[in-house]
């Protein structure tokens, strides 16, 4: 995998990153794999622009694993898909002798990548995975990247025609069997794909609780 050198950001090259790339490529669709690679690059570019010190290898690990919870291997999971991905990353990194505190950083980065308004106050790798995912999925911060950067990233990791519908479908397939997406953006995906889906409303939950008042 090569990115134009002019971008100034590279996929870190180590035994660990090569193995994780292989593992994710074998496990995910091309759509999710390319999306994950772009999440890393947007995150790394953002980190550079903001002058944040970050560990490129950890950022890459977290980016690679961030959506693995959507794949068929978790079709019976009752956890949030983000937590499945975080746990998968933890198992992989434990087996590769990565330190406990680095594993915790990667776990948290994956677990919180859909949580708004919190990761930006945490360690750089945690903030940057969420920033990269927001850029790639919803175009958050789009104008903070140059046209040349955007073109270079998409040339290296193609954003295929129909990406938007494709990733919504991947979200839906990865979440529809889970007990609840209540209180997260993921609710919107189910509501969009399934006309019978009923949002759980927090106020009704409070008002209907076993507490008499």
**C-beta of 53 vs 117, nearer to another protein:** 117
Binds another protein (CB under 8 A): choice among 59, 80, 103, 106: 80
Whether the Cβ atoms of residue 71 and residue 30 lie closer than 8 Å to each other: no
For the segment 81-100, give every residue that binds another protein (CB under 8 A): 82-83, 86
> Read out DSSP for 59-120?
HHHHHHHTTGGGSGGGTT--S-HHHHHHHHHHHHHHHTT--HHHHHHHHHHHHTTT-TTSGG
Burial label, 61 (beta-carbon count in 10 A; 0-12, 13-18, 19+):
buried
Q: How far is the CB of 7 from another protein (least distance, A)?
A: 14
11-40 as b/e: b if 16+ CB within 10 A: bbeeebbeebbeebbebbeebbbbbbbbbb
Stretch that binds another protein, among 12-20, 47-55, 63-71, 133-141 (CB under 8 A): 133-141
154 binds another protein (CB under 8 A): yes
**Nearest to another protein of 8, 139 (CB atom):** 139
> Binding string, 8-37, against another protein, x = CB under 8 A?
------------------------------
Binding site for another protein (CB under 8 A): 79-80, 82-83, 86, 111-112, 114-118, 121, 136-140, 142-143, 150-151, 154-155, 158-165, 167-168, 180, 182-186, 188-189, 191-192, 201-203, 205-207, 209-213
């Amino acid at each position: 995998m090569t990115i134009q050198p002019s971008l100034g950001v590279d996929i870190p090259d180590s035994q660990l990153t090569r193995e994780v790339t292989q593992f994710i490529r074998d496990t995910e669709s091309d759509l999710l794999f390319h999306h994950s690679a772009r999440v890393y690059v947007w995150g790394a570019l953002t980190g550079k622009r903001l002058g944040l010190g970050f560990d490129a290898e950890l950022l890459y690990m977290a980016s690679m694993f961030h959506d693995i919870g959507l794949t068929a291997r978790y079709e019976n999971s009752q956890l949030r898909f983000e937590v499945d991905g975080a746990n998968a990353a933890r198992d992989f990194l434990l087996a590769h002798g990565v330190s406990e505190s680095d594993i915790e950083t990667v776990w948290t980065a994956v677990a919180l990548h859909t949580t708004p308004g919190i990761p930006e106050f945490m360690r750089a790798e945690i903030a940057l995975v969420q920033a990269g995912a927001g850029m790639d999925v919803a175009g958050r911060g789009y104008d903070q990247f140059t046209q040349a950067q955007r073109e270079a990233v998409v040339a290296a990791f193609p954003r295929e025609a129909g990406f938007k519908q494709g990733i919504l479908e991947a979200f839906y397939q990865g979440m529809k069997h889970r007990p609840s997406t209540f209180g997260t953006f993921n609710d919107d995906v189910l509501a969009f794909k399934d006309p019978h889906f009923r949002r759980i409303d927090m106020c009704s939950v409070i008002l209907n609780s076993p507490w008499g008042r």
